[in-house]
Structure formats: structure tokens, C-alpha cells
Amino acid sequence: MPQTPVYIICSPPPAGRQDADRRLLSEFLLLKNGDVASFDINLKEPSLLEYLPKITETADVIDTFGKMQLMDRVIVDDGIAKVIDLGFHAFDEFFKMTEEIGFTKEAARRSVAPVSCSWPIPTGFPRALFRCCSSRSRRARW
Amino acid sequence: MFHILGPSIASLDEIAETANFMQGAKYFLVKNFINDTQFFQWDQATYNSYFHRIKDATELTIPKLNEMAYEQVEVASVPFLKFVANKGVQDEAANYSFVLRGYVRHWLANVWSEFDRIKLTIWSAPAKPAPAAPAKNNCAQRVIWLD
């Protein structure tokens, strides 16, 4: 049964090669599937939004409302791949939130597959999410 | 006795007043975090003067629940467990936010682990002893995925 992938791209400071990677990934998914939803959480320097405005929207994890706007869409198994461009400013809050709300367990239940695209692993990256992502990353070929 | 405290000097002053009547009783000081106040933990002198006043008092911490999650549970008018399970008043399927349900689940697990820590069920147990449950079968671990 196909799963809905959620690519979490962790951008270290300053955004260098990752900048090209996330654009490539979004464009590849758009070309391959015909649809992709990208979320730009680079608060200080939105970049994906500048290059792919039609499929990208800004998101934030500063307050609860912003988290709801983002995660309530990301967790839906609608067959549309999601790309989260996570700026390093938002690492702590995002990973803390995913751990607290049980994102990995719920994703597994709903056939949503989180895939992390990050090197090195950022500080505070939840172990559960890392295990979940790394097992799926091995299967992902992009 | 469970003494629910607020983060104010007036509330903490009640500890001293209550202490006179607490001989021979089990006394719980419940720190009820309704916002980001710290019960004066940043001022150790003040903190110690209140919380170390009564010997053998047990502290119980009720952590803060995310404000929006709390309000959503209020609007839904359902118990916390039904909210976590995404169910309405009549057990019908509801459509609460996944994020808010996650926050409530996390908070509920923390609260119940506090209840387990102070062995609440022992203090409130009926006169007739019930068969002992396995050690790992505690409340906190039962806050799981219900929907």
C-alpha cells in the first residue's frame, strides 16, 4: 500500500547545498507526481517560496496555531507528497513538537512516511523520528 | 489532603495555616501550573520557606496544558480521554486537531505519571485490598492511541 511521503529537509546555517537539494526535490516530485505541497519554515530567509511560489507556502512553528496549520495538513494521507523546508532557527521547536504530539506513531498509523534529509543530524533530533526516518530513507531513492 | 496551590504568596500562606490541622494526615502540596509561573523556584529562600515548612508533605506537579488545547477541550465539552480519542459527546467521530490532541495526550501522560509517582491509588484504595497490578501497568502507560 503506497504511503504519503513527508520530506523534512533540515537546513543548516547558512543554507548552501541544501538550498539546491530542496528545490530539486520539490521540482522532481512535481514533475513525477503532478502535485507536491511544500512548506517553508525558514523564518529568517524564505527561499523555497521564492523559487517555487505556486506550490510553496510559508509555515511557522512559533505558536500553536501555526503548528496546527502545518501538522494537521502534513499528517493527512492524501497521496500528495509534502516537503518541509526546516530552517535551523526552527529545529528545536519543530522536533520538540513532533515528539510531544507523537508525530511518528500517528504517521505510521495513517500510512504517512516521514523522510529526513539532513546531514549532520541536528541537535535535538528525536530518536524516534530518526529511527523512523532512517529506516524509510534507506528505501527512498531520490 | 490535597492542597491545590496557586502561584501567589497569598495561596502559599495557606500552607502554614493548614499545617496546624494536618497532624497524622497525609498532606499533598499540588502545584497547579496554569501558566508559566514557577512557584518562586527562582527565589530559593522564598520557595524553601513555604515548601519545606511541613515535614513529610508530598509535592505533586500538575504541568501546564497548552492554552489552545485546553480551550478546545472546553469547547468540545468532552472528557480529556474522549478528546484524545477524537470522539464527541456521544462517542461519534470528531475532527479535533491532531496537534491539539497530541498535546493533550502528552499532558495527560505526564499528569498520570505524577499520580503513579505518589501512588495515588494506594492512598485512595478501598478498605478491601484489590489484587496487585503488574508494576509496569501504570496509568501513564495507558494513555495511548485510542482512536
Q: How far, in Å, CA of B143 to CA of B145, rounded?
A: 7
Residue A62 contacts B where some CB pair is shorter than 8 Å: no
Predicted local distance difference test score (pLDDT) of residue B18: 83
- A102 and B103 within 8 Å at the Cβ level: the answer is no
Residues of chain B contacting A74 with CB distance shorter than 8 Å: none
pLDDT in tens, A109-126: 999 999 987 655 555 555
pLDDT in tens, A27-49: 899 999 999 999 998 766 767 78
A26-35, A46-55, B106-115: the lowest-pLDDT one = A46-55
Residues of chain A contacting B67 with CB distance shorter than 8 Å: 64
Among residues A127, A119, A101, A135, the alpha carbon closest in space to that of A9 is found at A119
Among residues A119, A120, A117, the alpha carbon closest in space to that of A140 is found at A117
Residues of chain A contacting B99 with CB distance shorter than 8 Å: 64, 67-68, 71-72, 97, 101
Within a 10 A sphere around the Cβ of B132, how many other Cβ atoms?
7
pTM: 0.78
CB A130 within 8 A of CB B128: no
pLDDT in tens, B9-46: 888 888 888 877 777 888 889 999 988 888 888 988 88
